[in-house]
Structure 1
Amino acid sequence: MSGARLRIAPGYRLQWEPAQSCHVLLYPEGMVQLNPSAAAVLELCDGSLDADGIVAALEAKYPGADLAADVRQFLEVADERGWLRSA
């Protein structure tokens, strides 16, 4: 995943779900409820940024927060679950 621009995998869709009062990741077999941090990361997975770019964007949005390790760990889990693809 290093250096690859990341996007949400085909068949998955990130959206706000009013009934759940949270962002969800929809896929043909169901949905995953996301916490705000996970949603913030996945919103940046639009094919324009790699993992370093996603970390940098979030650190710019939340100055002073040490996010790199947590963001990279989440991206690894999301990749393992098939939620992400290289753009």
Structure 2
Amino acid sequence: MNGALATSICPRLGSGFRLQWEPAQNCHVLLYPEGMVKLNGSAGEIMVRCDGARSLAAIVGELETAFNASGLQPEVLSFVEIAGRQKWLTWE
């Protein structure tokens, strides 16, 4: 996971993590044996799309369409890189 991420990678949840919507928290949370990470809205929207089938390019495109925005790629790549370092996400 060194260097810049390629937009062709297909990130997925890391081993031992489970993503779910938590109504009580009104947000997505990432559950793991030692605890829980409460995700902000943007992080949750990115994480739900990281299913191992969608490429980063496809995820960015979906987010830009869903939120009528453009230029989201740098932020998405930055989040995915951080999530990879935390082991929340993995890819080949």
TM-score of the pair, normalised by structure 1: 0.89
Give the drift of 1:19. Answer: 2.5
Matched, 1:10 2:15: yes
How far, CA to CA, are the matches of 1:20 and 1:57 in structure 2?
Answer: 25
How far, CA to CA, are the matches of 1:10 and 1:74 in structure 2?
Answer: 18
Any unmatched runs of 5+ in structure 2?
A: none
How far, CA to CA, are the matches of 1:71 and 1:83 in structure 2?
Answer: 14
**Root mean square deviation of aligned Cα:** 1.4
Matched, 1:46 2:51: yes
Match among 60, 69, 88 for residue 55 of structure 1: 60
Give the drift of 1:17. Answer: 1.4
How far, CA to CA, are the matches of 2:42 and 2:91 in structure 1?
Answer: 21
Matched, 1:64 2:69: yes
Matched, 1:83 2:92: no
Q: Sort the Cα spacing of 1:20 and 1:64 in 2 relative to 1 into closer, same or farther, 3 A.
A: closer
- Partner of 2:42 in structure 1? 37
Amino acid at match of 2:52: G
1:40-60 C-alpha deviation (Å, 9 max, x unpaired)? 000000111121111111111
How many residue pairs get matched?
Answer: 87
TM-score of the pair, normalised by structure 2: 0.85
1:1-38 C-alpha deviation (Å, 9 max, x unpaired)? 42221111121011111232221000111010001110
Q: Sort the Cα spacing of 1:18 and 1:64 in 2 relative to 1 into closer, same or farther, 3 A.
A: closer
